[in-house]
Amino acid sequence: MNEKYSVSDYGIFSDAITTTNKLKASIDTAQVSYNDVKTIIDNDTLFMGPCADSCVEALNAMNESMAIMTDNFTTINQYLIDVSNAYKAGDKSASNVILELKGTNGKVIRAGAVSDYLNPTNLSGYQLDFINSIAEGAVEAYNKYGVLPSLTLAQAILESGWGKHSIGNNVFGIKAGDSWTGKTQECRTSEQNADGSYVQITAKFRDYDSLSDSIEDHAVLLTNDRYRAVIEAQDYKEACKAVREAGYATSLSYTENLIKLVEQYGLDQWDPK
C-alpha cells in the first residue's frame, strides 16, 4: 500500500439520499391528490355510471403503482444509507494502517486517525477541528519528507491562528518568491527587526487549491538545504530551534512559541518515539 485509502466525497451518498427522499415525497403528494379524487368518484351522488367504474379501475391501478414506487424508493434509500455507513467504516479502518512511505531517516510512524488525538487540554470547537484537519497530513509529511508532525502542527497553528487567519489554504505563511508559479495573495504582515521593533509590509504569499497541498508544499520547502538541520533534528525542541535559525520567521520568540504549543497541546504524540 503506497498511500492512505480515502473516500474523497461522501456527498454523493447524501445527494442520492436527498433525491430519493424528494421523489418519495412527490409520490406522497400524489397519494393525497388520489385520495381526494377517489372520495369524489366513490360518491354515487356526484359521479356514477360506466365512466365512473372505469375511472375507479384506473385509479386503483395507479394507487397500486404508487405503493410499489414508494416501497422501492424506501428500499433504495435504506440501501444508500447502509452503503454510505459501510464506506465510512471502511475508510476509518483503512486510515489506521501503517503507511509504507519511507521517511528520510528510514522510520515510519502510524497515520493516526483523528480520534486518536489524546487532547490533554480538552480542546473543542474550531481548535480541535483544526488539529484534526492537519494531523494525518502532518504524519504523512513526516513519512515522506522527514518533517516532525509536531513541528508541522505547531507552525500551522502559530502561522494561521488555528486556521482563522490563513491566507487562502496557506496555513504556514509561506511567501511567494519569483520562482513560484502558483496562485498568490497579497497581504499585510508584520516583520520583527533584530532590535525587537516591528515593521508593517505588504507581501505576496502562496495560495493552494487545498489544505493538503499546503501541508505538502511546507514539507517540500523544509527539505531544502537551508533547512537541513530541521530534518535532522532528533526532537521537536531541536526542530523548532532549527527552523527559526534557518530564517523561516523573523519573530524573536518564534522558537519558544512553537515549543509552548507542542507541549501545551501534546502535539508531539505523533512524533517517532
The residues carrying an active-site annotation are: 191, 217
Q: Do residues 212 and 169 lie in contact, with contact meaning Cβ atoms separated by under 8 Å?
A: no
CA distances from 14 to 11, 26, 87, 159 (A): 5, 18, 13, 35
Cβ atoms 190, 199 nearer than 8 A: yes
CA–centroid distance for 162 within its chain: 15
Would strands 198-206 and 184-192 be described as parallel, antiparallel, or unpaired? antiparallel
Hey, which bits of 5-153 come out as E strands? none
Show Cβ contacts of residue 198 under 8 Å, excluding neighbours closer than 6 positions.
Answer: 190, 191, 192
In sequence order, which residues have a C-beta less than 8 Å from that of residue 96 and are 6 or more positions away?
110, 111, 112, 113
Residue 21's H or E segment, with its range, is helix 11-42
Distance CA 83, CA 16 (A): 11
CA–CA dist 172, 160 (Å, integer): 7
Helix intervals (H) in 146-233: 149-160, 211-221, 228-232
For residue 221, give the C-alpha cell: 520547502
Among 181, 175, 183, CA closest to 250: 175
Q: How many CA atoms lie within 13 A of 171 on its CB side?
A: 28
